[in-house]
A and B are shown apart, each in its own frame.
Chain A
């Protein structure tokens, strides 16, 4: 015991000496650089400015993500972005996160009811947007994942999405020319671990913040005025839709059965996770930000236009035992909407399109 302690102490001392040595070598090296650069032009000393910062928009609530355990840095964000757009996360290199989460479509898979992943295999659900992830308490249509840091494992290991194992990804990253250096810059050493891989991806995803639509500028009093039809649409929306699509994120993150027919889809949604029959056919209420560009709609992408969505709520709601009570009034199901009202709501929803976000070069593949 004592011997072990002594050995440990000696190891500390030795490490101290080697650190001290490295320190001096470092200082000497730095002096050389200063001297050398001094001989050339008077270039300003480069300092790392963390221009990638998470900022809570003024009209948004506090985020749910634990930033203290994974503070966003330039290098971490860049690593996350590189990983997000790299097929290295899939079994054969063909599918990246960006394949099914395309920026111009609000990080969804435009035009695809369900996505085709590896080997063109089809999934069963519509690709949800990677947007305002920092505010989401749970992930996936059924809420099966409760932590953003654990989320990427699901598409990575899904046999019809990326069909890869974390273990293989770590091996590929370790033997790649660029990644060890990127992990070094992001996390202080070249070590590539599950945790670092996932935290880097989170750093990119939490920065995918959409908060600069015309609607946002309007509510924040930044000089944008909504048109008369948009304002009328907003009024209708607040009465007819905002019980579920509530708040500035346009969702209350609850799980509800919105009455889409189960004739073609056997997906039981939330109850797969809770094993509770009361949750049969319930799915997470999605945000409506950028909804005009994230077609198709519903958990299985069955509706290609917002008109179809309005028609569904107005007259196509299926009465199932777990239908959300808000979609039932006596024997009547659905939401009473005239043709004009439907159009006004759609007009309002288009004010939620955030071109700054959809075109932000910072979030695009580099």
Chain B
């Protein structure tokens, strides 16, 4: 069986290659350049290789060896850009490019972008959080996901909370009430420079392509791994840092979670 895999894969690869080549030769044959379609991104929150479930027992273990549960996991996704195989970029218009993904709200976990030029997209770029312009704009424009009433907003230090992770842990110190709380934000400061935790990430679709057409709305199945927030270039210990909000250490957590997204697969239907 194993010996046969390589030629089979090669054949498939060759087939795909020839397919994509022919496509490049006659790009107009496949779709009308003025054609528009939609694209969905499903944010599937996981912990390592397990699905994230709020509440319950402290079933997850981080690299520091600490067990924990998750009660809240919310984050902003904004400023979305789609890149096609020819490196053409489609920038989603600002007014429809802010989303609050909440683990407690099933409907918030699938976002749909409309009016996208038909194309064969190979990666998605987005900001985890909210850019500085939207952090300082008039309250009249703060609607939808950006309404301060969503609770992802620091009232005492004007600015959005980009990502919120809260839960319980046996290793959290008593004075933290057995809980850990990570509220990460910081857009760089209004009048004086402060921490900037705005993270922009690009997730490649690997060998897959999202074929946006009027008749095809691809769904990108994106995994967001809570464990990456703990286990990254900084090993986050709940015992040592049970509460991190607007503090220099938050930069380490933002660095860690900037690696938490990964495209698992794409449905083109």
Q: List A143-183 residues whose CB lies under 8 Å from chain B.
A: 143-147, 149-150, 153-154, 156-158, 165-167, 170
The majority secondary structure among interface residues of chain B is loop
Closest to B146 in A: A194
Chain A's nearest CB lies how many Å from the CB of B87? Answer: 27
> Contact string, A248-288, partner B, CB cutoff 8 A, digits 1/0?
00000000000000000000000011111000000000000
Interface membership of B259, Cβ < 8 A: no
- B140 surroundings in chain A (CB, below 8 A): 69-70, 195, 199
Tell which of A70, A143, A165, A275 touches B246, judged by Cβ atoms closer than 8 Å.
A275
Closest to B195 in A: A275
Q: List B144-175 residues whose CB lies under 8 Å from chain A.
A: 147-151, 153, 155-158
Interface membership of A2, Cβ < 8 A: no
Interface membership of B177, Cβ < 8 A: no
A274 CA to B159 CA, complexed, in Å: 13
Interface membership of B20, Cβ < 8 A: no
Contact-size category for B = 20 to 34
Which segment of B91-99, B184-192, B222-230, B232-240 sits at the interface? B184-192
- The reply to whether A145 and B158 form a contact with Cβ atoms under 8 Å apart is yes
- B247 surroundings in chain A (CB, below 8 A): 275
Task: Given the known inter-chain contacts A150-B155, A166-B149, please indicate yes or no for A143 contacting B194, CB distance below 8 A.
Answer: no
A153 CA to B139 CA, complexed, in Å: 12
14 CB < 8 A contacts A-B: A69-B138, A138-B191, A144-B157, A147-B139, A150-B158, A153-B153, A154-B156, A158-B156, A166-B149, A167-B150, A198-B139, A199-B139, A272-B157, A273-B194
- Other contacts beyond A145-B158, A149-B139, A193-B147: 13, CB < 8 A: A145-B157, A146-B191, A150-B139, A153-B148, A153-B155, A158-B156, A165-B151, A167-B150, A170-B149, A194-B149, A195-B142, A272-B157, A274-B192
Residue positions of A touching B, CB distance < 8 A: 1, 66, 69-70, 137-138, 140, 143-147, 149-150, 153-154, 156-158, 165-167, 170, 193-195, 198-199, 272-276
